[in-house]
Amino acid sequence: MTTIDVGTAARQTPTLRDLSAREIVRRIAAGELSSTEAVEYFVARLKTVNGALNAVTADLSESARKTAADVDKARSRGEKLPPLAGLPVTIKECFDLVGTATTYGLTTRRSDIERTDDPYVAALRAAGAIPIAKTNLPQLMFYTETDNPLYGRTNNPWDLERSCGGSSGGEAAVIGAGASPFGLGNDIGGSLRIPAAFCAITSIRPTAGRLPDHCAHGLPVGQTGIVSQVGPMARYVEDLVMGLRVLDRARDPLVDPGPEFGDPSGVDLSRVRFATFTDDGEFPVAPAVKRAVAEAAQFLSAAGATAADWKPPPLSRATDLLFAALSGDAAASHRRLLRGNSVDRRLRPLLLIAAMPLWLRSVAGLALDGLGQRRLARNLRRFAPGTADAYWLAVEAIANFRREIVCSLDDAGGGPVDLILCPAHALPPIRHGATEMMPMAGAYVPLANVTGFPAGVVPVTRVRANEESGRPPSRDLIERVARETERGSAGLPIAVQVIARPWRDHLALAAMAQIEAAARKQPDYPARPPL
């Protein structure tokens, strides 16, 4: 791990990298900062850090400079500027952007240049935002580390030996390193929230249906039991609010109906009841993670929110259902897309397991149990049989689980629960390669994907020296990976997750803003990485 003192880095003279995206937009509109200055700063910052991060897949600086000059001319003429005018932004590689390739890490797609923008990219552009780069992702966005045979591995700005998460890992890395004030990502199994947690930034996966993900190009978007959502990523919660107001307008209410995005500033936290959990019944969390949730709960209580008792159904079922839905076709679509391509080593075992006959998977599970590898055995059994009937049953089970969660929130002692406060991830940022053995660390992230609830992540603290492991030695390979993740993790960022009921995204963001404001005053807050 790098030895630069994070506290010293956090006390450096504030620059544009320390400003919120909202403040950058305000300064440009007021004439205190030109769009050209903002673009040049973040383009230069990207060039400074990308050699270490390897996060950029497409350099858009030339077109960004031209657009910035146009914004500055419009402002000088006194024209009314759109809400994000002049703001430099970065875009995850999976989103179509005119003049760039959308590859998902497939070498066969690197020459396919897009002629139209994704609707959410178009919405950001229409609001005045200026894309300066596209960023890296895992191959086919199928695992939670950012690495692929086409663009290579992206590193975490807090420790280059650690993963930035995935699949929106390139976005999280550049934002966390202060090389972008705002980014666009998506999330079907934690792809916004895990990278945000690992890189000490903030993000939100909106309510299922608020920002439906249009990324396709052969990906199995017909799988609708658990749907991917587009979401903003930034260093400040206020920037998520600003971004969601723009992105929510890109949704066609006739095609994707739902209430408009609410106003977080109008939320009275003294009328909010929240529940916490740090144990999903399957994957114990690291000591620093448990402390972070407790501290965040104190921050909410200090703001007048009421802690409530909550007895949920078995939460590990969320992971079971996520696997059942996403492997419903036995990975046939992924094998089709991968033809003619080098396959990432993390995908190979997943594809092999997904295609296994059910009887062989049962035998392998029994063998793993006999060898003391109960976690590997359980993950093996989570893969779907690959029949339409099994998928339909999984979709029914997902609907039933959602109802059970809602009922449990309604029936909580003292009155209904509005928010759930829980870990963003069970562990600190994982080491490169950890997902080969540990594809998913518990149900903390899948819970929101399976229920469709809005869920945001906000950084709270850093691992302390005495918190590097609370996990005993074990024969279990996944336990050993988790223990190795915790070893040497002092100084790394830890975030919490806030989950709200459907269409109450604004309530989650209001709670996140309160936690953020209080956490930033604490000595352990992860303000700036050493990079």
- Of 94, 78, 75, which is closest to residue 37 (Cα–Cα)? 75
Buried b (16+ CB within 10 A) or exposed e, 270-308: eebbbbbbbebebbbbbbbbbbbbebbbebbeebebbbb
* Residue 342 annotated to the active site: no
Q: What is the CA radius of gyration of the chain?
A: 22
Cβ atoms of residues 408 and 315 within 8 Å: no
Rounded to whole angstroms, the Cα distance separating 291 from 274 reads: 17
Exactly one of 35, 168, 191, 203 is catalytic; which is it?
A: 191
User: Across 322-365, where does the E strand assignment appear?
Assistant: none
DSSP class of residue 278 equals S
**Exposed/middle/buried for 252, CB within 10 Å: 0-12, 13-18, 19+?**
exposed
- Torsion from C-alpha of 19, 421, 397, 505, nearest 10 degrees: -40
Rounded to whole angstroms, the Cα distance separating 377 from 372 reads: 9
Ramachandran class of 177: left when φ > 0, alpha when ψ lies in -120 to 50, beta otherwise:
alpha
3-state SS assignment for residue 448: helix
Q: Which amino acid, residue 473? A: P
Exactly one of 167, 203, 228, 327 is catalytic; which is it?
A: 167
Task: Characterize the bridge pairing of strands 493-500 and 273-276.
Answer: unpaired
Backbone angles phi, psi at 53, to 5 degrees: -85, -40
DSSP class of residue 331 equals T
3-state SS assignment for residue 270: helix
Q: What stretches of 101-218 show up as alpha helix (H) in DSSP?
A: 119-126, 169-176, 193-199
Please tell me the number of Cα atoms within 13 Å of 262 on its side-chain side. Answer: 19
Exactly one of 34, 92, 168, 180 is catalytic; which is it?
A: 92
* Residue 203 annotated to the active site: no
294 to 37, 276, 306, 502: CA distances (angstroms): 41, 8, 14, 24
Task: Characterize the bridge pairing of strands 155-156 and 159-163.
Answer: antiparallel
CA 355 to mean position of chain CA atoms: 28
* Residue 311 annotated to the active site: no
Catalytic residues: 92, 167, 191
